[in-house]
Every structure is written in C-alpha cells, then in structure tokens.
Amino acid sequence: MANSEALDRRIPASPLKQFAQRLEVRMLLLALLIAVCLSFLSPFFLTKSNIFNLLDQSVVIGIVAVGMTFVILTGGIDLSVGSVAGLTGIILGLSLQHVPIVPAIGIAVVAGGFIGLISGTLITVFGLAPFVVTLGVMAIGRSLAYIFSGQTAISNIPMGMQDIVYTNVLGIPSNVLFLIVLYLAAWAYLTYTKGGRTVYAVGSNKEAARAAGLNTTFYSILPYVLSGAFAAVAITFSISQLLSADPLMGNGMELDAIAAVVIGGASLFGGRGSMFGTLIGVFIMVMIRNGLNLMGVSPFWQGTAIGTVIILALLVERLVSARISR
C-alpha cells in the first residue's frame, strides 16, 4: 500500500501545546488564580478550617455535577436535578419515619433514578427535547415535594443520619471521602469501560455510534437515571447535616451544577468534557461563594458575582482557545 501519500492536513501540535489545548488545564490555572486572589483578599481563606469548609461545601453540588456531566456528555441537559433533589429529600424524610436509615436512603435513591428513567425514556425513545422534558419534570418535582411534605419541613430526622457526614476516615470527613471516591469511580467508568466510551461517542456523533453497533438508546437514557439518583444522594448528605428535609431544598441547584460542568470544559453539544474538569468547575463555584461570604459581601450580590465569573471565564476561554487552535 502506498506509503508516500499525504497523511495530514495540519501539522500535529507539540505535546506542550496539546497539554495547553486541554480546557481543564486552563481552568485549573483559573481556579488557582482565584484561590491566590482570595487568599490575599481574606486572611481566613487559606486556613485549614476554611479549606475543610470548602471541601464540605463542595460535596452536595459536586455529587449532582457528576450526573450532570454524564448528561451533558451525551449532548443533553437536566434542569430537573434541583427539584428531584427536593422531592427525593422529602421522600427520604418520610421514609425515615417508617424504616431504618439504610433502606430509607435506598428508597430515595431509587425514586430519583426512576424519575431520571422517565425523563431519559421520553427524550431518547420519543425524541423529545431534553430541555423541555426536564423543565416539565422540574415543575412536577417541586410541586410534588410540597404536596408530599404538607408544605412544611420534616424536622424529626433521626440523629443517626449525622454519622453519614461526621464520621472521619483517616482524618478525612466521610462526605468528602465519598466525593473523592465517587469522582474517581466516575472517571474510571468514563475512561475505561464500554459504557463510558459509548457515552462520549453518543454525544460526539450518535449516528456513527449507532452504525458501529453501540447501544445508543441505553446509554442515552442511563445518564438521566444517574443524574436523578445522584440528586437523591446529594440531598441525603444535605439532610444529614441539617437534620431537616425542606420541600424548598435543592432550589437553583441545577444552575450551579450546569455551571460547574460547563466551566469544567464540557461542551453543551456533547462529546467533550471530563470528571476532572467538572471537579475544578465545582471548586471554582464554591470558592467564589465562600470568598464572597468571608469578605462579607451581601448574599444578594453573590448571584451577580458568580454569573459574571461564569460568563467571563467562558468568554476568555473562547478568545484564548480561538488563538491556540489557530
């Protein structure tokens, strides 16, 4: 076979440039920059207790962002995670009145996964737009959370729930440890398994994935199931800390999760993104919020600050990546 023909249209980039081309790498630099700035702005930022505080605050949003990463990798979106978290929180609170802790959590997680299964099926099998389906589920979920709870918070949560958060393993709080293990597992799944690679392939080119024999239907639904289930897991940690289940819980969580995934370098068109990037995105979100709190900025201004950072980060990113790939 002819060896001499032209292999390339473009010359491959040097390893350093390829490294710099990775969006996660640039976002990591941004995260470090924010950390350095905040440590100058507030003397408390870099203290040990605040770092643990930061990690603690990352757990809930971090868990939700795992499911969201899967969904966005397939080119979808899940707007319902916040209200699913609220609803499954209420389901957990109610279950705890009747069954022990472990089965109660099981019920909540299965309920979350089931809601995701419905969304995913409507989107994949019936071809509805993910935005619209999850918007509908978002409204239904919040409404059911109010109805099931009788419009009030459930506060008689067993004290044993606190063990989930306040047990230390090797000096690391169990919720932080859970987050780390979850991210490692999700990364390994996405990188090394048939299912994980299929998720990427579906988001990148579903038609080609189907023609190559991949099970595109199953792996288009699975991310929504995971997203629903992880919303329930996340709210379990929240409830363990607060010892109360409120129908308003998880309000606005979907936006934080989507922002974290997008800041972490995922493409909303699918096929591009990573667990490492999402984790950085989560840290950036949490750091900004934490820093603003430390500096005593009014909570009403925090939304403006976070929104500005998201847009600026993506704008700078767009300008920089346009220059690098040229």
Partner 1 sequence: MQPMTAPLADRTASLAETGHSPLLTARDITKTFDRTRALQGANFELREGEVHGLLGANGAGKSTLSKVISGHYTLDSGELTYRGQEIRLRSTRDALRIGIAIVMQETSLVPDLTVLENIFLPELGRPGRLDYGQLRKRGQEILNDLGQGDSLPFDWEVRRLSSAQKQLVEIAKALGVRAKLLIFDEPTASLSPGEAERLFDIMARLRDTGHGLVFVSHRLEEVFAITDRVSVMREGRTVMNAHPTATLSQADLIRAMVGAELGAIYERGETHHVAELDAPVALEVRNLASAPAVRDVSFTVRKGEILGLGGLVGAGRSETVEAIFGLRPRSGGTVTLAGKPLKGDRPQTAIRAGLGFVAEDRRTQNIVPDLSVKENLLLAHLGAHRGFFCSYGQREKKMKELLAKLGMPEDRVADSSMLNFSGGMQQKIIIARWLLLEPSVLILDEPTKGVDIGTRASIYAMLRDIAAEGVALVVVSSDFEELLGLSDRVVVISDGRTIADLPSAMLDEESLTLLAAPRTSMVRNTEMLNDLAREHGGSGFWALIEGERLICLNAVVSNPALDPGFKAGQARELGATRIPEALRRREPIFVPEADRARTTLVVPMTSPRGHDLGWVGLSLPADRPLPAPDTIKSRIDTMAATL
Touching partner 1, residues 17-46 (CB under 8 A):
18
Which residue, 53 or 205, has its beta carbon nearer to partner 1? 205
Contact 55, 307 (CB under 8 A): no
**Minimum distance from residue 38 beta carbon to partner 1 (Å):** 34
User: Which element (helix H / strand E) includes 203?
Assistant: helix 194-211
**How far is the C-alpha of 282 from the C-alpha of 24, rounded, in Å?**
12
**Minimum distance from residue 81 beta carbon to partner 1 (Å):** 24
Which residue, 2 or 102, has its beta carbon nearer to partner 1? 2
The burial of 299, by beta-carbon neighbours within 10 Å (0-12 exposed, 13-18 middle, 19 or more buried), is given as: exposed
Which residue, 80 or 274, has its beta carbon nearer to partner 1? 274
User: Which element (helix H / strand E) includes 168?
Assistant: strand 168-169
**Within 13 Å of residue 75, how many CA atoms lie on the same side as its CB?**
17
**Minimum distance from residue 117 beta carbon to partner 1 (Å):** 21
Contact 221, 70 (CB under 8 A): no
Which residue is listed with tokens 């009788």? 150
Should residue 319 be labelled a site residue for partner 1 when binding is judged by CB under 8 A?
Answer: no
Pattern of binders to partner 1 over 208-227, x per CB under 8 A? xxxxxxxx------------
Touching partner 1, residues 256-275 (CB under 8 A):
271-272
**Minimum distance from residue 261 beta carbon to partner 1 (Å):** 15
Amino acid residing at 172: I
Touching partner 1, residues 179-208 (CB under 8 A):
192-195, 197-198, 200-201, 203-205, 207-208
**Minimum distance from residue 132 beta carbon to partner 1 (Å):** 18
Should residue 2 be labelled a site residue for partner 1 when binding is judged by CB under 8 A?
Answer: yes
**Minimum distance from residue 5 beta carbon to partner 1 (Å):** 6
Tell which residue, 71, 76, 83, has the closest CA to residue 139: 83
Contact 253, 61 (CB under 8 A): yes
- First-to-last CA distance in the chain? 33
Which residue, 8 or 170, has its beta carbon nearer to partner 1? 8
Should residue 62 be labelled a site residue for partner 1 when binding is judged by CB under 8 A?
Answer: no
**Minimum distance from residue 65 beta carbon to partner 1 (Å):** 20
Which of 5, 300, 322, 326 touches partner 1 by CB under 8 A? Answer: 5
Beta bridge partners of 154: 245
**Coil/strand/helix, residue 173:** strand
Q: Which residues bind partner 1 (CB under 8 A)?
A: 1-3, 5-10, 12, 18, 192-195, 197-198, 200-201, 203-205, 207-215, 271-272
